[in-house]
Amino acid sequence: MPEANSKAEYLVGVDLGGTKILSGIFTSSLKCVGRSKMSTKAERGPEAVIERIAHCIQDAVDECDLDLKQVRGVGIGAPGSVDPDSGKVMFAGNLGWKDIALEKELGKQLDLPVFLGNDCNICTLGVHEVELEGKPRNMIGIFLGTGIGGGLIIEGKLYHGFNRTAGEVGHMVLEVNGPKCTCGNKGCWEALSSRSALFRQVQQAVKDGQKTILTEMLGNDLKDLRSGDLRKAIKQGDKFVEHIVEEAAKYSGIAVANLINIINPEVVVLGGGLMDALENEMMSVIIESAHEHAFPGSDKGVKILASKLGDNAGITGGAVLARRETK
């Protein structure tokens, strides 16, 4: 791997998603000074995607009137199962990747050291170190989007576990005979409370004749449905959408209670696209349901917060990782 230039001051964080790549340039004190965004084009294959990541980073660097030589290292969060030791993405369904040496290949393209982590772990790292100033000894980060994932900070450090898959909270079964999940099981949290779960419920209900403002907004097929549309529908008084979102939030509260019972963290932080879009509609329901279901005493003083980093959690965490690894 290329060596870190110890005189270089800047850090790059990258959030690699199934549909978009986000890059951020950070100072050594983790202030974001510039960002760049690009579509992933996963269908073009891993080599092309890695070139696009390099391109996206170069765009962000250029936007800040900087040069790659002023970058100390790159931290990148990738979806799916990731091996931080070998720097490989072992398996990522939404990218169609299997056993891709992302650290090495991206490092070669940029002539910079690259450090890889699981996307939700990296987001958790960003929230912990920057948003919460590294204070909580024990914390859980939960990210609600198309799926649901998480990361654990235990005794101040990102915790990986035996197969380095710790924090796979979205496939916690909450309802043994609940709706089918993409993982093959039934009643996983992800199948009850993710964006996909919400959309599936709305679409099924509409098919079954349910009336909703959403069809007036988007047509009967609801083809372009987005999280923000649910918020708009609720704001316009759509009780059906409100009910669906509330039920999902109640399940999320139960999942948070389970995590508080098991791990007893000081802070639980919720983020991700769905949370960003529906924070006002979901957060108070989640908090109430979590306290209602937590074992008495275990939730005392435990903070349940919505992250303010939004889209920036991943790139921030990437920069934290790069800083840590090039120190």
Rg over alpha carbons for the chain, rounded to the nearest Å, is 20
* CB nearer a copy of itself, residue 204 or residue 298: 298
Burial of 184 (0-12, 13-18, 19+ CB in 10 A): exposed
* CB nearer a copy of itself, residue 43 or residue 155: 155
| List of residues 6+ apart from 18 with CB closer than 8 A | 40, 42, 79, 94, 95, 146
* CB nearer a copy of itself, residue 175 or residue 246: 175
| List of residues 6+ apart from 209 with CB closer than 8 A | none
Of the candidates 13, 34, 84, 265, which one interacts with a copy of itself according to CB under 8 A?
265
Closest CB 248 distance from a copy of itself, rounded Å: 12
Burial of 54 (0-12, 13-18, 19+ CB in 10 A): buried
Size of the site for a copy of itself (CB under 8 A): 50
Tokens representing residue 122 in the block: 């990296």
How far from 314 is each of 125, 309, 320, CA to CA, in Å?
9, 9, 10
Q: Binding of a copy of itself at residue 66 (CB under 8 A)?
A: no
Contact pattern for a copy of itself over residues 144 through 183, marking x by CB under 8 A: --------x-xx---xxxxxxxxxxx-xxxxxxxx----x
CB 121 within 8 A of CB 158: yes
Closest CB 23 distance from a copy of itself, rounded Å: 28
Q: Which stretch binds a copy of itself (CB under 8 A): 52-60, 69-77, 200-208, 294-302?
A: 294-302
Residues that bind a copy of itself (CB under 8 A): 81, 90-91, 137-138, 152, 154-155, 159-169, 171-178, 183, 185, 251, 254, 257-259, 261-266, 292-293, 295-302
